[in-house]
Structure 1
Amino acid sequence: MPAAAAAAAAVVAVVPQHLRRITGIHITPTSRGSAVVVTALPGLGKLFGGAGRNKDRQKRAKYTAAAEELLQLLTTQQASQQAANARANELVEVLLTCEGLPFQEQLLGPGPWLVFFTKGSPQLWKATFSAGKLLNASNAASQDLDPGSRAVVNRAEYFGRRLYVTASGTYEPLDDDASSLPAAIQANISSGLLHVLGLDIPLPIKGTGQFEVVWLDTNLRVFRSSGAVSVQIRQQYLADAGLIG
């Protein structure tokens, strides 16, 4: 039972029947205690509703602050990388608890997002790439999800831009009515290419992967799959900030 309904029902329980008669307030019998009180005392509805909205704002503010700090942490030089990694882990753990905030699919695109932080081995790429790290000093990984066509392109570099692999396919929310986080997504990879020395060599890459969008805003998103976590930053944000060429 929502907090407002529970609070309203509690009010009904403690108001004596004779007091209702004395006040002259007409009470229509109902199985929903909250409806009784809101009908009798309209001001209570505003009071309880305001409390619920305030709680939602506080929740959103908490996660937004964690996301903003994580974005800055991952994109600025840190005095202690060890301390930065520890703090990043803490912030990721906060975002992993996000539930109930709106899922806005359009924020998944346009353009690629770069993988900046991982925990575990992100399952999303397991059906796509069988070797190499997703992200280290010389190799980068990215993902491009197009909300319009629901096309997906995963990319992993192995020797920088001299040799990289792309895997293409489609994605779809597992719940067509997905409107809140976390949102379950399925990626269906149907083809792949090896790009080397200007050549594009077809690869027999096919597979299906499922993941959850646990946080998504304009510039930062967090995916979770089988306990593994991938934190991605929008490439355009990095370019606008002068962080990539």
Structure 2
Amino acid sequence: MNKLILTTAALALTAGMSFADTIRMGTEGAYPPYNFINDAGEVDGFERKLGDELCARAMLTCEWVVNDWDSIIPNLVSGNYDTIIAGMSITAERDEVIDFTQNYTQPDPSAYMALSADVDLSSAVIAAQANTIQASFVAASGATLVEFATPEETVAAVKNGEADAVLADKAYLTPVAEGDADLVLLEQQELIGGGVGMGLRESDTELRDKFDAAIASMKADGSLNALIAEWDIGEQF
């Protein structure tokens, strides 16, 4: 699998710091505003800024690793990187395989987007990115689910008639709808998932605790809320 590795010096190396203090941060790089690749070819977005700040507060050096969403958990478990910071909602099913920090966003509503506001969602064909909370929700709802590997493909499916609507995080769909006159963000929303957190291997309890403490410190001093507001992620803490 092709992987793009981008290095950031979140904090200068200090005397005595070991190689183990270099942490590989796995992200998708395809889900703005959470994470995306900018024009310079670098990981950018809310989670890039957040991750760099968390590493600085935890006194760790970060490397950013881009990985496709459909294999992002298996490649964490197999050791290709040390964390997942990729708009991943905390769910009981995922928590059986990996560990999570506390949430760094509140549960964000999932929204539907279609070509018309008159779509009957109860009988619609609904697109969702594979292995997401939205795909699981649609499958359980009784509607017809069509899954795609990337969020861009779910939007394309609506535009080319493969699907009647797409279900995804409202924070992702809102700017897409605002930038395309053919697309409509529907009023109906779904509140699913338990907020977004960092994923780690279950054995990495010390690393989890370091990031937990860093997230807690950002909540306490208001800097996390400022970042959430800057990137329009959703409700603040």
TM-score normalised to structure 2 length: 0.24
Which structure exhibits the higher relative contact order, with contacts defined as CA atoms closer than 8 Å and separated by 6 or more residues?
Answer: 2
Answer with 1 or 2: which has the greater Rg: 1
Say which structure is richer in strand: 1
